[in-house]
Amino acid sequence: MSDATIPAIAATIPALLFSAACHHGERTALEEAGRRITYADLPEQALAVSRALIAHGIQPGDKVAIWAPNCIDWVLAALGIHCAGAVMVPINTRMKGVEAADILARSRARLLFCVGSFLGIDYPTMLAPVRPACVGKIVVLGEWQEAWQGGQPWAAFLADGAAVSPAEARARADAVRPDDIADLMFTSGTTGKAKGVMSAHAPTLRAFAEYVRIIGLRAGDRYLVVNPFFHSFGYKAGWITCLIAGATILPHPVFDAEAVFQRIEADRVTALPGPPTLYLSMLAHPRLAAADLSSLRIAVTGASTIPPILIERMRRELGIRVVTTAYGLTECGGLATICDPDDDADTIAGTSGKAIPGTEVCILDPKGHPLPPGTPGEICLRGFHVMKGYFENPEATAETIDSDGWLHTGDIGTLDARGYLRITDRLKDMFIVGGFNCYPAEIEAALTAHPAIAQVAVVGVPDERMGEVGCACVVRRPGASLDETGLIAWSRENMANYKVPRYVRFFDALPVNASNKVVKNELRARVTEAL
């Protein structure tokens, strides 16, 4: 990729914003139904958010959260937060009020940008009974309802910024340093309760400039961002990547194969990264043969094992010339390894590629010793983009990043002689549902609150469409009445949809080992065979 296509890498997200405006001017930066913002106009609109944040007392380093689906205002809010020197805290839109409140409280977020209604759910009302005291203001994106007296409409919030000059906001943006924390993204890591991952500005931009180079994203490309903005795949490998390349960000709030088909045709989409589920759904769509997908050029996937035939079908039936896979986790900013698009289908399907420049990948045994090529062990990463640590959790940080600087991912894999990574298992029984990481300990803790459950273990089982789904293995309390339908319905009311077990199996007792720990490998095998 030439220097004319990718400017010198900016060191902060605000600097990237201003650089992109200079380099890409009248190109479209953001576009959705009836609305378009050019790169030249983007800084003014982002700084309008910064001015309002400053007017409401937000200081550098303060936490500001976003709980909304993919949309233009999500990006404007995020850029405004970054330019104000604050720390962005994205929240999963699938979370219930209690789950979101927990993140808001533990991050001590002072302000929340929140969608009003989405997919039939009233978010401000859902949060109201559990709203933490630290959240001094809720700004509602989209249509406003008078019932939300605890919030403020987006337009009124922006109007408050008139009290702050553009020069003051620009000075705040220019004061942001490369090593400042840009975002606090909550992830369960490998065990237990979600932890806040602290990531700085500069490592994100350096890593995803490599991503842009490798996948061949260029100025003028049209990138349909189906991956949610609250996730690294939609945020850093999504709209941040577009700003680096000068591509157009096309936010898409919910994946639906028919809607995606329509957008590819109508909006001439050229780049469509996503989990394997996305492409499988497209390939199974009855209108595939008649759809005009000729504009598509780039696809990037990952998150689960991929059959080589999928890569071949994406190239042949979807007509995508650049198909590749990548691996990363929130603790390393979302990107560690990636395949070269010129690699063969077996390599792209069977591996997650090799380390990006500046990153080391090593397979270590339980004692921390490197293992030879082809020998499975824990995947460990070291490099410029490893997180600054878990927020206010030095113990968990020390458990995850060792004294030699290796980030222990909790994933099991091998490296081949070429340095290509193959993921084979997960240390802590994590499974992935449609691209979302699911951690059994977290789901089990929630299910244990059900009055009819004496004991529960959650395992991931194969699923043709989603890759994997959860199965709850339950021992009922004596005399209690509980069936599969009832527990799944209860789960939908108490946890994010992707965490909800798709199956429930009842046991008189769960298999345990000599230490009285549930033997999940045996349980998983039994459930998988039965299903």
pLDDT of residue 438: 84
pLDDT of residue 4: 37
pLDDT of residue 285: 86
Amino acid (one-letter) located at 244:
I
- Answer whether residue 19 shows pLDDT above 50: yes
Q: What is the pLDDT of residues 81-115, one digit of tens each?
A: 999 999 999 999 989 999 999 999 999 999 999 99
N-terminal to C-terminal alpha carbon distance within the chain: 49
Q: Which DSSP letter does residue 7 get? A: P
- Answer whether residue 128 shows pLDDT above 60: yes
Amino acid (one-letter) located at 296:
L
- Answer whether residue 192 shows pLDDT above 80: no
Rg (CA), the chain: 23
DSSP H helical segments within 143-275, as ranges?
154-160, 166-174, 201-215, 232-234, 241-245, 257-267
Which residue(s) pair with 456 in the sheet? 474
What pTM was computed for the model? 0.85
Pick from 320, 314, 319, 323: nearest CA to 341:
323
DSSP E strand boundaries for 398-481: 407-415, 421-426, 431-433, 436-438, 453-463, 467-476
Contacts of 147 (CB under 8 A, 6+ apart): 125
pLDDT of residue 255: 82
pLDDT of residue 495: 93
pLDDT band with cut points at 50, 70 and 90 for residue 5: very low
Average pLDDT over residues 42-62: 98
Which residue(s) pair with 115 in the sheet? 141
Place of tokens 């290509």: 420
> CA-CA distances (angstroms) from residue 170 to 18, 47, 51, 84, 161?
10, 7, 9, 9, 13
**Torsion 277-362-402-88 (CA) sign:** negative
Q: What is the pLDDT of residues 252-310, one digit of tens each?
A: 998 888 899 899 999 999 999 988 878 888 888 888 988 999 999 999 987 555 777 88
> Which is more confident, 284 or 119?
119
Give the range with max mean pLDDT: 5-14, 344-353, 433-442. 344-353
Q: Are 238 and 219 in contact (CB under 8 A)?
A: no
Q: Are 173 and 146 in contact (CB under 8 A)?
A: no
> CA-CA distances (angstroms) from residue 371 to 126, 276, 408?
49, 30, 14
Pick from 385, 339, 397: nearest CA to 359:
385
> Which is more confident, 515 or 510?
510
- Answer whether residue 148 shows pLDDT above 90: no
State the CB neighbour count (10 A cutoff) for residue 447.
26
> CA-CA distances (angstroms) from residue 439 to 2, 410, 500, 531?
42, 12, 11, 21
Tokens of 24: 């890409």
Distance CA 440, CA 433 (A): 12
**Torsion 327-328-334-337 (CA) sign:** negative
Pick from 486, 9, 1, 527: nearest CA to 240:
9
State the CB neighbour count (10 A cutoff) for residue 293.
17
Residue 442, helix vs strand vs coil: helix
Which residue(s) pair with 223 in the sheet? 249, 271
How much is the mean pLDDT over the chain? 92
Average pLDDT over residues 506-511: 91
> CA-CA distances (angstroms) from residue 70 to 299, 315, 527?
19, 27, 36
pLDDT of residue 1: 35
Amino acid (one-letter) located at 490:
W
Which strands form 322-327's sheet, in the order they lie side by side? Answer: 298-302, 322-327, 337-338, 354-355
**Domains with residue ranges and CATH for the chain:** 13-198 (3.40.50.980), 255-426 (3.40.50.12780), 431-530 (3.30.300.30)
Element spanning 19, H or E: helix 13-24
Which range has the worst mean pLDDT, 160-164, 241-245, 373-377, 440-444? 440-444
Distance CA 170, CA 174 (A): 6
- Answer whether residue 224 shows pLDDT above 80: yes
> CA-CA distances (angstroms) from residue 57 to 63, 159, 170, 176?
12, 15, 16, 17
Residue 111, helix vs strand vs coil: strand
- Answer whether residue 14 shows pLDDT above 80: yes
Q: What is the pLDDT of residues 428-475, one digit of tens each?
A: 677 889 888 787 877 887 898 899 998 899 999 998 888 899 999 999
